[in-house]
Amino acid sequence: MMQFGVPKETVPGEARVATTPDVVKKLVGKGLAVLVERGAGDAAGYHDDAYQQAGATLTDAAGALGADIVAKVRKPSTDEIAALKQGAVYLGLLETCEDDGTQAALLAKHIQVVQLERIPRTSRAQSMDILSSQANIAGYRAVIEAAAHYGRFFPLMMTSAGSAKPARVVVLGAGVAGLQAIATARRLGADVHAYDVRPETKEQIESLGAKAIELDLGESGAGEGGYAKELSDQAKAKQQQLLADELAKAHVIVTTALIPCRPAPVLVPEEVVERMREGSVIVDLAAANGGNCPLTEKDAVVVKHGVTLVGHTNYPSMVPGDASAFFAGNIANLLGIMLDNGDDGPVLKDLDEDDITQAALLRAE
């Protein structure tokens, strides 16, 4: 019987798990033997007894990592790669912008690696798109963090003691995270404005009840696969100049502008922070790539020029229950195109025969 293994995450602060009891039940029903490391789901609120009741077998790290198919949330460590079975299938985020030997170590063991960050953004692959499902959670949680650090109300408040105007929130970037941030801030009653270098996002921004900030940069930032591309130096300078006045009026700024494997573009320079009202908040979702604001400090919350800058880098882990459920659902859908029904249970297909797994397969350069 083909085994599907889920080890406990070992990166400090990571609370997610790659599968949940609900998904385990479905996988067992399809004939997979599911091996879950003891305690793997504790931080996300999924405990061992729930996995057992769903049909999983509890094991240690070696048992989970030794399965035919292994799924993890975060990049495998050297020890975890050593524990993988020769020729196994590995599903996970490799976080491979920098070559640290992870890819070579996996290929040396003839592991078939499906890099989850390389799942194409197509209609058919949407249910497997882990980057989008987790970015959705990040956009939501970013606004919750902003509201927690902002010392005033988000909505218009009218009481017998007086009234308060709604917070002016500016969201930079209208990708998956940005659109969810817009929607969440609107639900909290804020006056929301948003900007994206891709002109086609205007309709999406306005459909959520926000106001689109339009700037004439002389070029488009629309890239391939639904992602933004890097602007020219001239367009970047013009963007900063035109954005500055809009940003200085904001009470809360949520920045989401990321270009895969490139330093984050500077959208909120220090001179803009200096102009913002004391007590304002900037939540910088690009903190891991240097930040859209150069004053942001990775994995820290700091106050500079009277403005609170939030630089957390793992927002989905702050909502671990739902983030794990979304992740597990994406994995289950991916397994649906990877496996066929054989006489003795599921069998692995040729991963090069499907356009989704073909695009995501790790290959030697």
Which residues participate in catalysis according to the annotation?
Answer: 121, 126, 129, 132, 227
Cβ proximity of 28 and 55 under 8 Å: yes
Cα–Cα distance for residue pair 340/346, rounded to 1 Å: 5
- Looking up tokens 């009234």 gives 163
Rg over alpha carbons for the chain, rounded to the nearest Å, is: 22
Identify the burial level of 220 via C-beta atoms within 10 angstroms of its C-beta, where 0-12 means exposed, 13-18 middle and 19 or more buried.
Answer: middle
SS3 for 266? coil
**Spatial distance between the Cα atoms of 304 and 288, rounded to a whole number of angstroms:** 19
Residue 132: closest CA among 202, 212, 227, 22 = 227
Strands 157-159 and 162-164: antiparallel
The residues pairing with 339 across neighbouring beta strands, listed in sequence order, are: 348
Q: How far apart are CA 254 and CA 258, in angstroms?
A: 12
- 3-class DSSP state for residue 240? helix
Q: CB atoms < 10 A from the CB of 124, how many?
A: 11
The residue with tokens 């005033």 is 152
User: Are the C-beta atoms of 299 and 287 separated by less than 8 Å?
Assistant: yes
Q: Nearest Cα to 363, choosing from 349, 352, 347, 348? A: 352
Closest CA to 191 of 273, 257, 254, 250: 250
- At 145, which amino acid appears? E
Contact assessment for residue 44 and residue 321, using Cβ atoms and an 8 Å cutoff:
yes
